[in-house]
Structure 1
Amino acid sequence: MGVRTAARVAIALALIVGTAPVAAADEQPGPAEAAASWLAGQLADGTHMTTTFDGTAYPDHGLTADVVLALDAGGVAQDAASAATAWLAANSGAYLGEGDEAYAGAHAKLALVAQAQGADPTDFGGVDLIARLTALQTDSGRFSDKSQYGDYSNGISQALAVLALHRAGGAPADAVDFLAKACPDGGFRLLIDQEPCVSDVDATGYAVQALVAVGRDASAALDWLEGKQRADGGFPGSDPTPGVNANSTGLAATALAVGGRDAAAAKAVTYLLKRQVDCSGKAAARGAIAYDEGGFDSRAARATAQAIPGIVGVSLAEVSADGAAADARGLTCATQPTSSTPPGTTQATTTAPATTTTKGGVVPAADIDDLADTGVEVGPAVGLGALLVLGGAGLLFVVRRRHAS
Structure 2
Amino acid sequence: MVVRRSRHRLLALLCGVLAALTLTTPAVAAPERAGVTRPEAAAGWLARQLVDGERFEVVFDGVAYPDQGLTLDAVFAFAAAGAADDYGADALAWVTRPDVRDGYLGDGVSEAYAGATAKLALAVQVRGGDPADVGGVDLIARLRSLQTPDGRFSDRSAYGDYSNAFSQSFAILALDRTALGAPPAAAAWLAGTRCPDGGYPLLPAQPVCSSDVDATALATQALRAAGRPADAAAGVRWLVSVQGADGGFTNVAGTPNANSTGLAAQALRDGHRPLAWARARGFLAGLQLGCAAAPADRGAVDFDGGGFDPATAPRATAQAVLGLTGTGYARLSATGADSGAPAPTCP
- TM exceeding 0.5: yes
- Counterparts in 2 of 1:105-116, with a 5 A limit? 105-116=115-126
| Corresponding residue for residue 130 of structure 2 | 120
8 Å CA contact 1:156–1:203 kept in 2: the answer is: yes
Q: Tell me, in whole angstroms, the C-alpha distance in 2 between the residues paired with 1:27 and 1:283.
A: 14
For residues 48-127 of structure 1, the aligned pairs below 5 Å read: 48-90=55-97, 91-98=100-107, 99-127=109-137
| Equivalent residues in 2 for 1:323-334, closer than 5 Å | 323-333=336-346
Paired position in structure 1 for 2:240:
226
Q: After superposition, what is the alpha-carbon deviation per residue over 1:34-53, rounded to whole angstroms, capped at 9, x for unaligned? A: 00000011110111111122
| Gap runs ≥5 in structure 2 | 1-14
Q: 1:123 to 1:211 in 2, by over 3 A?
A: same
Q: Structure 1 regions of 5+ residues with no counterpart?
A: 1-6, 334-349, 351-405
**Residues 263 and 231 (structure 1 numbering): CA distance in 2 closer, same or farther, change over 3 Å?**
same
Aligned-residue RMSD, C-alpha: 1.9
Distance in 1 of aligned mates of 2:259 and 2:61: 23
- Matched letter for residue 78 of structure 2: L
Counterpart for residue 6 of structure 2: none
Deviation at 1:215, TM superposition (A): 2.3
Structural mapping, 1:107-186, within 5 Å: 107-169=117-179, 170-181=181-192, 182-186=194-198
Q: 2:300 aligns with which of 278, 288, 295?
A: 288
The one-letter code of the counterpart of 2:105 is: L
Contact 1:275 1:295 in 2 (8 A): no
Sort the Cα spacing of 1:9 and 1:152 in 2 relative to 1 into closer, same or farther, 3 A.
farther
Which one-letter code corresponds to 1:173 in the other structure?
A: P
Residues of 2 paired with 1:22 and 1:63: CA distance? 27
Q: Which residue is equivalent to 1:354?
A: none
* 1:65 match: secondary structure: helix
User: Quick one: distance in 2 between partners of 1:136 and 1:253?
Assistant: 30
Judged with a 3 Å threshold, the aligned counterparts in structure 2 of structure 1 residues 129 and 324 are, in CA distance, closer, same or farther, namely: same
Residue 49 of structure 2 aligns to a residue whose secondary structure is coil
Q: Which amino acid in 2 is paired with 1:312?
A: T
Go from structure 1 to structure 2 and tell me whether the alpha carbon gap of 1:8 and 1:164 turns closer, same or farther (over 3 Å shift): farther
Confirm or deny: 8 A CA contact 1:116 1:320 kept in the other structure.
Answer: yes
Contact 1:8 1:269 in 2 (8 A): no
C-alpha separation between the residues in 2 aligned to 1:103 and 1:21?
39
Q: Distance in 2 between matches of 1:253 and 1:227?
A: 13
- Cα deviation digits, residues 355-400 of structure 1 (max 9, x gap): xxxxxxxxxxxxxxxxxxxxxxxxxxxxxxxxxxxxxxxxxxxxxx
Aligned equivalents of 2:265, 2:18: Cα separation in 1: 15
2:57 aligns to what SS in structure 1? Answer: strand
Rounded to whole Å, the distance in 2 between the matches of 1:180 and 1:46 is 39
Counterpart secondary structure, 1:236: coil
The alpha carbon displacement at 1:295 in A equals 2.5
Q: How does 1:241-320 map to 2 (within 5 A)?
A: 242-297=254-309, 298-320=311-333
Return the alpha-carbon distance in structure 2 between the equivalents of residues 166 and 24 of structure 1.
35
| The structure with more helix, counted as a fraction of residues | 2
The code of the aligned residue for 1:13 comes to L
| Separation in structure 2 between the aligned mates of residue 68 and residue 21 of structure 1, nearest angstrom | 24
Task: State the secondary structure of the residue aligned to 1:58.
Answer: strand
Alignment-mate amino acid for residue 219 of structure 1: A
| Deviation for aligned residue 1:193 | 2.9
Partner residue, 2:21: 13
Partner of 2:53: 46
| 2:48 aligned with 1:34 | no
Q: What SS does the aligned partner of 2:331 have?
A: coil
Indicate conservation of the 8 Å contact 2:115/2:163, yes or no: yes
Q: CA deviation at 1:27?
A: 2.8
Partner deviation per Cα, 1:256-275 (whole Å, 9 max, x = no partner): 00000000000000110000
Tell me the equivalent position of 1:353.
Answer: none
The equivalent of 1:375 in structure 2 is none
The runs of 4+ residues in structure 1 deviating greater than 2 Å are: 7-12, 18-28
SS, match of residue 235 in structure 1: coil
**Identity %, equivalent residues:** 52
Of 25-34 and 294-303, more deviation after overlay is shown by 25-34
Deviation, structure 1 residue 242: 3.5
Equivalenced residues, count: 325
